[in-house]
């Protein structure tokens, strides 16, 4: 009385109802990855300089501008050069940044007083918070960025 049944036994009305529910679900799934990336961005190294006084300055940036503030907290530093000549610690361990502004982090180097430390690759592990570390939400745990230091 109210529907016509096809060869598979599904009415047109049931087919239209199912399609109406499927379209919003597909739209939501397609939008999620872009939103997730914009909420917790990747960190990019903009520059690395020998800032003297046994320190290296690394400037980081985010890939977009926003009014949202992020706090990056360094949790670990490792270097391919070990011992007294490797970059071993972050002097600046936390920085709050609102993109497109950049943030500078300072790392210790050449603990043995070597004038020119050897070339090395340094990996920095960090946690990223939306807002501040104290009151914000951690959106990335164990993120990394890498920089090369040539000793000059």
Higher pLDDT, 149 or 116: 149
Same domain, 54 and 114: yes
Same domain, 28 and 73: no
Same domain, 60 and 4: no
Q: Which two tokens stand for residue 39?
A: 């909420």
Residue pLDDT, tens place only, 51-90: 766 788 889 988 888 888 999 999 988 888 766 667 777 8
Burial 55-79 (b: 16+ CB within 10 A, else e): bbbbebbbeeeeeeebbbbbeebeb
> What distance in Å separates the CA atoms of residue 59 and residue 45, rounded to the nearest whole number?
6
Higher pLDDT, 80 or 5: 80
Same domain, 97 and 134: yes
Which residues form the domain of 49? 44-149
Same domain, 30 and 68: no
Residue pLDDT, tens place only, 9-21: 777 777 666 666 5
Please count the structural domains in the chain: 2
Is 0.85 surpassed by the pTM of this model?
Answer: no
Q: Which two tokens stand for residue 120?
A: 């090395």
DSSP H/E element including 122: strand 120-130
Same domain, 54 and 112: yes
Same domain, 32 and 57: no
Residue pLDDT, tens place only, 21-38: 555 544 444 433 333 345
User: With pLDDT > 70 as the criterion, what percentage of the chain qualifies?
Assistant: 66
Same domain, 17 and 35: yes
């Amino acid at each position: 009385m109210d529907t016509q049944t096809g060869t598979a036994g599904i009415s047109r009305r049931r087919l239209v109802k199912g399609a109406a529910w499927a379209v919003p679900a597909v739209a939501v799934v397609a939008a999620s990855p872009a939103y997730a990336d914009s909420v917790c961005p990747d960190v990019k190294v903009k520059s690395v300089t020998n800032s003297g006084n046994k320190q290296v300055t690394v400037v980081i940036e985010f890939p977009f501008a926003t009014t949202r503030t992020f706090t990056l907290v360094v949790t670990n530093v490792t270097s391919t050069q070990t011992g007294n000549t490797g970059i071993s610690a972050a002097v600046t361990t936390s920085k709050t940044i609102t993109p497109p502004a950049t943030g500078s982090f300072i790392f210790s180097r050449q603990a043995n007083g070597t004038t020119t430390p050897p070339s090395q690759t340094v990996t920095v592990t960090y946690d990223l918070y939306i807002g501040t570390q104290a009151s914000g939400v951690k959106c990335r745990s164990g993120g990394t960025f890498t920089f090369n230091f040539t000793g000059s």
